[in-house]
Amino acid sequence: MQARTLRIGTRGSPLALAQAHEVRARLMAAHGLPEDAFEIRIYKTTGDAIQDRPLAEVGGKGLFTKEIEEGLIAREIDLAVHSMKDMQTHLPDGLGIGAVLPREDVRDAFISLTHPTLAALPEGAVVGTSSLRRQAQVKRLRPDVKVVGFRGNVQTRLRKLSEGVADATLLACAGLNRLGMADRITAPIATEDLLPAVAQGAIAIEIRSDDAETVRFVAPLNHEETALCVTAERAFLTRLEGSCRTPIAGLAELDAGTLTLRGKVFLPDGAACFEITREAPAGAAAALGTTTADALLELGAEAILARSL
């Protein structure tokens, strides 16, 4: 592996590049390699190209990974770096997850130039978000506010906020922390109030399953606790067959060998919500995700999922 340049595929947004640089730095440290042993290749994805309408209208999951995965399959790159929450639950044939980095703060961030918290927003205030999951939960917490679409990368959304397009917006704490912009967070929102997206805060390294050399090379970067948690969450999402058209939230946490998974399914307007919490030994992460989803379906979540098809 050290005899050739390792090619890393990523999107070109500031956050995506920060994540690719973090992976490169960790690989350099793990293997004692210089920076010029790596090449970062930037791909423009379908999700980056479409800015004029909600992603849920054009396919949802996979829109920020498809072109990079095609490059991986074509052997243009050796590994791909993704925000794991953007990845499809079923990966393309021949691809797999080689490592998951330690998870960042999983919470959503409330950001406003004029108000300290979501609860402090005046009646009729405008909240900008492109996420149906955030929209649904905001409407449950504050049915009196108006939610408007808010597309673009972190910098674009913050600019829109400064231009007065909305009174507040919501972003992932993890992304802001990785960009060195934690000071822009007005208030983190507790997961009890706003449950995060599946795999929020986790960075995944995707590889070709038959590339044994790269499999061994990235393995030291895998963070077992994060990997177990996101395995449970992604199994939960897989069983629900969730997409960007269905507001689904899920968070697994590991404590003393026990995984606790919280899951929720909403109507987009927040008018209905089904939620559940289940526990299992850490070694049963995938099974926990599936059984938790099954229990949620038995509670009645299937009716919500059917409405989003």
pLDDT category of residue 2 using cuts at 50, 70 and 90: low
- Determine the average pLDDT of the residues in 96-121: 97
Helix (H, G, I), strand (E, B) or coil at 25: helix
Binned at pLDDT 50, 70 and 90, residue 276 comes out as very high
Residue 65 tokens read as 């990974």
Where in the chain do CATH 3.40.190.10 domains reside? 1-101+202-222, 108-189
Q: Determine the topology of domain 1-101+202-222 in CATH.
A: D-Maltodextrin-Binding Protein; domain 2 (3.40.190)
For range 230-258, the mean pLDDT:
91
Q: Which of 36, 48, 78, 86 is catalytic?
A: 86
Is residue 243's pLDDT more than 60? no
The secondary element (H helix, E strand) that includes residue 155 is helix 154-162
**Would you call 108 a catalytic residue per the annotation?**
no
Q: In this structure, are residues 135 and 117 in contact, taking their beta carbons and an 8 Å threshold?
A: no
pLDDT at position 157 is 85
Does the domain at 108-189 match CATH 3.40.190.10? Answer given as: yes
Average per-residue pLDDT in the chain? 92
More confident residue, 57 or 98: 98
The pLDDT, as a whole number, for residue 280 is 98
Per-residue pLDDT averaged across 166-178, rounded? 96
* Average pLDDT value for residue range 154-164: 87
pLDDT of residue 305: 84
The arithmetic mean of pLDDT across residues 282-293, rounded, is 97
Residue 288 has pLDDT above 80, yes or no: yes
Residue 135 has pLDDT above 80, yes or no: yes
Query: Which residue type does 282 have?
Result: A
The pLDDT of residue 261 is 98
Given a cut of 60, whether residue 307 has pLDDT beyond it is yes
Backbone angles phi, psi at 144, to 5 degrees: -85, -10
CATH of 223-309, one of 3.65.10.10, 1.20.1250.20, 3.30.160.40, 3.40.50.10540: 3.30.160.40
User: How far apart are alpha carbons 79 and 125 in whole angstroms?
Assistant: 43
Q: According to the model, what pLDDT value does residue 87 have?
A: 94
Across-strand partners of 278? 261
Alpha-carbon distances of 216 from 70, 88, 96, 190, 243, rounded to whole Å: 22, 24, 13, 37, 32
Distance between CA atoms of residues 10 and 84, nearest Å: 12
Does the pLDDT at position 21 exceed 60? yes
Structure tokens at 285: 């992460």
Helix (H, G, I), strand (E, B) or coil at 91: coil
Note the pLDDT of residue 153. 77
